[in-house]
Amino acid sequence: MFKTEALLAVPCIAAGYWFVRRIYPEHADFFSCTFKRITGLPCPGCGGTRALYAFLTGHFAESFLYHPAILYLALAGIHFTVRYIFRNFIKKEQPSKEIAVPIYAYILIGVILVQWICKLLFGFR
Amino acid sequence: MSENNDLITCPHCGSQNPSTFRFCSNCGEKLDEKKEGAPVQQTSVSEEAVQTPVQDPSAAWGAETEQSSAETPTYEQVEGEVVSGGAFSSQDTTGTYKPQEEIHINYERAAGDPVPAQTAVKEGNGNIGFAIASLICGILSILCCCFVWLALVFGVAGIVLGVITLTQKYEGKGMAIAGIITGGVGLLLFLIVLLVVGSTDAFTTLVDTLNEY
């Protein structure tokens, strides 16, 4: 029933585990921001890697402070998954084509821009 | 006008109509000789279509032969009412007739043919992939500003794909616009980095990032 979703979830979980265990502890410097190094200002993606690491290690508040888009993407994914399951297997309506997926992207853009403005105004290390 | 078995030939257009018909189902001209020569009141199609709502499709022109005998008495008995289809009216003693277009429409309805649903013209031609790709590239160009060269690549890609979507009138116009805007922001951030690169040190730092990758 969830064959496709399982096939997609397994590599995602493996990649997340590999990122937490091997990539980030050993190569954290690789993710330093060039934009900040040159201009001294944080870019819209600053803190994303740290936020992802914090989220994957269970520190959700810390993840939100580093970059709220990571937590938003996780919540949006859960929201979409619940709607998809409800629509396809409980209510048995048309598949996810009716779910307005672009709305998630528009909100993501808003989250990124708002948090970037907040970082510019209040400073970010 | 000639009669052939159960058919009457219209003197105006020559089409064959059942003998029980009084008006031609093709052009709307009277088939009845007794009422020929009566002054005809011509009205516009749009006016008649608005003023004459269809009440009983079964009594309109084009009814089946077996039903026409039942419809004709209905028409004769009704006075002072607008008969469905508006092809003619019992009040119409002066021999007025409705425009051909309205009769034709009523004929289709009476025959039981379903009225074709007017489908809205689709805005795009079904290709939504470009819009989705534009939006994704635009978002990545913002998020990947840490790697300024990726911001340039994704920004250009987002703008190009968004422009293609709009010019080719593909589906996903909103996503294309969002992709163009976000790609433009990514490009703008890259340009800011270029502007700030005024000193040799900053340019060296920018080049070093390429070596790191």
Give the pLDDT confidence score for residue B120 in this predicted structure. 46
- In eight-state DSSP terms, residue A45 is T
pLDDT higher than threshold 80 for residue B121: no
Give the pLDDT confidence score for residue B1 in this predicted structure. 46
Do residues A79 and A98 make contact, with C-beta atoms less than 8 angstroms apart?
no
Confidence of residue B161 (pLDDT cuts 50, 70, 90): very high
Confidence of residue A111 (pLDDT cuts 50, 70, 90): very high
* Interface residue of B128, B134, B143, B213 to substitute, partner A, most A CBs within 10 Å: B143
Confidence of residue B156 (pLDDT cuts 50, 70, 90): very high
Which of B146, B172, B212 is closest, CB to CB, to A35? B146
Pairwise CB contact (< 8 Å): A38 & B174: no
* Mean confidence (pLDDT) of chain B: 67
Confidence of residue B87 (pLDDT cuts 50, 70, 90): very low
pLDDT higher than threshold 60 for residue A115: yes
**CB contacts, 8 Å: B146 with chain A:** 31-36, 43, 45-46, 48
Please give the average per-residue pLDDT across B75-89, as a whole number.
45
Reported as a single tens digit per residue, the pLDDT across A101-110 is 788 989 999 9
Closest chain B residue to the Cα of A33, Cα to Cα = B146
What are the two backbone dihedrals, phi and then psi, of residue B108, each rounded to the nearest 5 degrees? -65, -40
Higher pLDDT, A10 or B206: A10
Which of A34, A39, A112 is closest, CB to CB, to B209? A34
Give the pLDDT confidence score for residue B158 in this predicted structure. 94
Higher pLDDT, A7 or B38: A7
Q: Beginning with the edge strand found earlier in the chain, give each strand of the sheet holding B7-9 in spatial order.
A: B3-4, B7-9, B16-18
Any chain A CB within 8 A of the CB of B140?
no
Closest to A116 in 3D by CA, of A45, A20, A61, A49: A45
Do the strands B3-4 and B16-18 form a parallel or antiparallel pair, or are they unpaired?
Answer: unpaired
What share of chain B in percent tops pLDDT 90?
A: 15
Pairwise CB contact (< 8 Å): B135 & A45: no
pLDDT higher than threshold 80 for residue B151: yes
Give the pLDDT confidence score for residue B159 in this predicted structure. 94
Confidence of residue A35 (pLDDT cuts 50, 70, 90): confident
Q: Which two tokens stand for residue B97?
A: 């007739």
Higher pLDDT, B177 or B126: B177
Any chain B CB within 8 A of the CB of A16?
no
Higher pLDDT, A39 or B118: A39
Alpha-carbon distance B35 to nearest alpha carbon in chain A (angstroms) = 59
- According to the per-residue pLDDT averaged within each range, which of A110-119, B65-74, B139-148, B195-204 is highest? A110-119
Least confident of A53-57, A80-84, B15-19: A80-84
Pairwise CB contact (< 8 Å): B193 & A48: no
**CB contacts, 8 Å: B158 with chain A:** none
Higher pLDDT, B101 or A31: A31
pTM of the complete model beyond 0.90:
no
Other CB atoms closer than 10 Å to residue A23's CB: what's the count? 15
Least confident of A27-36, A74-83, B93-102: B93-102
Please give the average per-residue pLDDT across B1-21, as a whole number.
78
Higher pLDDT, A66 or A37: A66
Any chain B CB within 8 A of the CB of A68?
no
Any chain A CB within 8 A of the CB of B201?
no
Any chain B CB within 8 A of the CB of A34?
yes
Pairwise CB contact (< 8 Å): A109 & B178: yes
A71-93 as b/e, with b when 16 or more CB fall inside 10 Å? bbbeebeeeeeeeeeebeeeeee
* Separation of alpha carbons B164 and B46, rounded Å: 41
Other CB atoms closer than 10 Å to residue A111's CB: what's the count? 18
